[in-house]
Chains A and B, each alone.
Chain A
Amino acid sequence: MSVPGLIRMGDNTLVLGQRVSEWCGHAPALEEDIALANTALDLIGQTQLWLGLAAEREGKGRTADTLAYHRDAWDFRNLLLVEQPNQDFGVTMMRQFLFDSWHLEALTTLAEHDDTEISAIAQKSVKEVTYHRERSSDTVIALGEGTEESHARMQAALDRLWPYVGEMFSTDGDDLTDMAALRPAFDTYLETVLTEATLVRPHSDFAHMGGKTGARHTEHLGHMLATMQVLPRSYPDATW
């Protein structure tokens, strides 16, 4: 059954899309504000596709919206990385860069999937995420290399988020593809960007786990969902 794997893909894009959308109206420059909104819009669009297909295949009469709005944190299957709070622009862009770098590898593989509905979503998403990765990489490079302050902030962001990188490459039978197999390509790309950004990859391989299995999310997810789900939860008989 592909449903758990589809939900993982959709929960990642949903949770990150929600996080990125929090920036709207608050970014460092208008151009960046507009760019972040484009990323969030792409991610929300991908969510509708992944969760839509998951709901359809599950066959219990649920929709992408019911999956998004009527599950609690423990039923979410997103990576811990994407539920991390935005903090400053540096953390936000570093999180984006790390996720995009994994996401593009995952989607490129899924674009060749035997299941044509899965490959179709992946093929559409690859185009969007190719650009996401380009933009987030260039931003990490510019801010990593820019000024003393920006360099320090970007290194701190990388150090802060690094323990959430390992989970992207943990894998089990629910995944739509072998995520562990994506690591070498990810590492190669990461190395190129970090070098140009004059940032140092942290040494520790320690990785927090529990997001994609739902075993243990961080405290942040519950708060995010409380905000996101407030209307459908408060007014269950309403349609919007």
Chain B
Amino acid sequence: MYAQMIKSEATQDDPEKLAAFQARIDAGDKIEPKDWMPAGYRKTLIRQIGQHAHSEIVGQLPEGNWITRAPTLERKAILLAKVQDEAGHGLYLYCAAETLGVSRDELTEMLLDGRMKYSSIFAYPTLTWADMGAVGWLVDGAAIMNQVPLQRTSYGPYARSMVRICKEESFHQRQGFDIMMKMANGTNTQKRMAQDALNRFWYPSLMMFGPSDKESVHSEQSMAWKIKMNSNDELRQKFVDQTVPQAEYLGLTIPDETLAWNEEKGEYDFAEPDWSEFFDVLKGNGPCSVERIEARQKAWDDGAWVREARLAHAAKKQAAKVAAE
């Protein structure tokens, strides 16, 4: 998902306080910035919200890659609005993380020097216009699956930003599917593009949910804290069950020969993605991992003089105001 492989921190706090804290969460209370919270809860959340925010910002790049080449004025406007929304979502999430005592600049630096990660999916390239469809349909589809339950997460600012994000994101998946429909019903070349996009994005989309976490202690802790709402496998299954009929509707073939409806379980059986590829991507060996961080680094470096100058100007204005009073 946008937050993958988040290691939850062990906590060494006063057991009485811990129990009271857990009781609040179990009762459905929201934890707010000034409330007492276990150090591990805080650290885990910073990591998770930070990674989520980074994913939104790095996620601007693969789709931003096609804004200047969108094939109609309307498609250009829609795509631009969508990528702009992602910047907005990153902004809301950074602000939520900031309530935990970390600054946006610190988070940015941790992304750039590799201490923090972003979702593996954005290390993949967008090669044809059909990829704009596939990203919206599959990637946003997978993201929504994780984000809708996160609206009920225990940390107030995170939950509130997820509410806003989900509200805004409702059009994203639809616009992707709309592009896929156009492509799948278009010329032979367009159909080929659509199938090719599905071929390339299917397994990376399944990887978004992260490896199976059945045995993971970290997941258990995060689920008890209600900062992780569902298991990775549960969400992945839901995603496959939802997506297969949509692919059939489009007349596209999911690149998995083992894919079959399991009558007994009432769900699809499907092939696992290649997890060694996933771990390579997380290590920074994704097809576009280097380009993505280079692009963020360049924006950060090139923008430094602007950020400084705006501050300097505001300080001068303030000084002039004080002098005049």
Contact = CB atoms under 8 A, between A and B. Distances in A.
A64 interface: yes
A201 to B, nearest CB: 20
Interface stretch (A31-39, A71-79, A170-178, A205-213): A31-39
B66 to A, nearest CB: 9
A41 B80 contact: yes
Given A227-B68, A238-B187, A240-B182, A146 B80 contact: no
B94 A40 contact: no
Given A24-B60, A28-B306, A240-B182, A228 B68 contact: yes
A188 to B, nearest CB: 23
Interface in B238-291: none
Contacts of A27: 299, 303
B164 interface: no
A85 interface: no
B87 A150 contact: no
A47 B87 contact: no
Contacts of A232: 71-72
Given A24-B64, A231-B69, A240-B71, A153 B310 contact: no
B189 interface: yes
A interface majority secondary structure = helix
Given A37-B84, A227-B68, A142 B73 contact: no
Given A146-B309, A147-B309, A235-B187, A25 B60 contact: yes
B252 to A, nearest CB: 17
Chain B's interface size range is 35 or more
Interface string B49-70: 0000000010011001001111
Interface string B27-67: 00000000000000000000000000000010011001001
Contact of A25 (B64, B70, B94): B64
Given A147-B309, A147-B312, A231-B129, A37 B73 contact: no
B135 to A, nearest CB: 14
Interface in A76-134: 88-90
B186 A89 contact: no
Contact of B80 (A24, A47, A48, A235): A24
Contact of B72 (A26, A30, A38, A240): A240
Chain A's interface size range is 35 or more
A22 B83 CA distance: 12
B186 A37 contact: no
A1 interface: no
B170 to A, nearest CB: 19
Contacts of B299: 25-28
B198 to A, nearest CB: 18
Contacts, number: 144
B325 interface: no
Contact of B295 (A26, A69, A149, A238): A26
Contacts of B303: 27-29, 32, 89
Nearest to B315: A146
Interface string B181-221: 01000110110000000000000000000000000000000
B80 A28 contact: no
A11 interface: no
B177 to A, nearest CB: 14
Contacts of B83: 24-25, 37
Contacts of A18: 68
A141 interface: yes
Contacts of A48: 73-74, 77
A237 B313 contact: no
Contact of B307 (A21, A29, A64, A228): A29
Interface string B69-111: 1111111110011011001101100100000000000000000
A240 B60 contact: no
Given A28-B306, A145-B313, 9 more contacts: A26-B302, A27-B303, A31-B91, A37-B83, A41-B84, A45-B77, A48-B77, A69-B71, A142-B309
